[in-house]
């Protein structure tokens, strides 16, 4: 998360700010209203459902090369366009659906990412045991201490590299180690809220 900090947030330490509401939080989580809500209520909390994890995986792929804030602001449009990211539904999309998605100004209209999302739904639909079981099998076995500064937050880990490798082996697209680690952060497989952040 690299967007500039909100001017109303006061810096506390490397990677932490005091928000306008008086709560210390990770600096990226105070840089826009959408970030505050996402940081405080969602990021780092465990997500277990197959469809919910498919949504997060898909949005991380769409975010590649863009600001996460762009994706958050388009999230409801993405959910409408992709039928709530229901794996069984998206796996059945046709060329007509791809054309519909490419003409939808509410989402990121990138043909490769749209096609990858449909393809990934088809792969996920065929997984024995489901997507959640596969993804969570790469969660670190024990929680490390929360990072103290943003310099302590890695971009990739051994686990995210292994996850990306296995996902690619199974046929998933747009799932490199950095994207895999962002997915792990977003879905509570790791807790990268800084130690001084008010979110526990």
Annotated binding-site members for Zn(2+): 26, 39, 193, 197
Residues 6+ positions from 104 with CB-CB distance below 8 Å: 77, 81
Catalytic residue among 28, 68, 136, 181: 68
Distance CA 178, CA 174 (A): 10
Distance CA 93, CA 118 (A): 7
Catalytic residue among 28, 38, 43, 136: 38
54 in Cβ contact with 88 (< 8 Å): no
Catalytic residue among 28, 35, 43, 60: 60
Annotated binding-site members: 26, 39, 193, 197
Distance CA 16, CA 146 (A): 13
95 is annotated as an active-site residue? no
35 is annotated as an active-site residue? no
Distance CA 164, CA 143 (A): 20
181 is annotated as an active-site residue? no
Catalytic residues: 38, 60, 68
């Amino acid at each position: 998360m690299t967007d500039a900090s909100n001017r109303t947030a006061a810096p506390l330490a490397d990677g932490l700010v005091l928000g306008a509401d008086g709560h210390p939080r990770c600096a990226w989580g105070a840089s826009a209203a959408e970030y505050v809500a996402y940081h405080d209520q969602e990021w780092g909390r465990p997500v277990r459902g197959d469809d919910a994890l498919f949504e997060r995986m898909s949005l991380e792929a769409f975010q590649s090369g863009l600001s996460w804030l762009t994706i958050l602001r388009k999230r409801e449009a993405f959910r409408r366009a992709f039928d709530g990211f229901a794996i069984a539904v998206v796996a059945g999309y046709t060329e007509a659906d791809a054309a519909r998605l490419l003409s939808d100004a509410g989402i990121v209209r990138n043909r490769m990412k749209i096609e990858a999302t449909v393809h990934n739904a088809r792969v996920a639909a065929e997984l024995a045991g489901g997507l959640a079981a596969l993804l969570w099998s790469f969660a670190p076995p024990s929680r490390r201490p929360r990072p103290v500064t943003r310099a302590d937050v890695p971009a990739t880990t051994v686990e995210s590299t292994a996850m990306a490798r296995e996902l690619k082996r199974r046929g998933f697209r747009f799932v490199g180690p950095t994207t895999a680690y962002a997915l792990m952060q977003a879905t509570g497989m790791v807790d990268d809220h800084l130690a001084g952040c008010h979110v526990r």
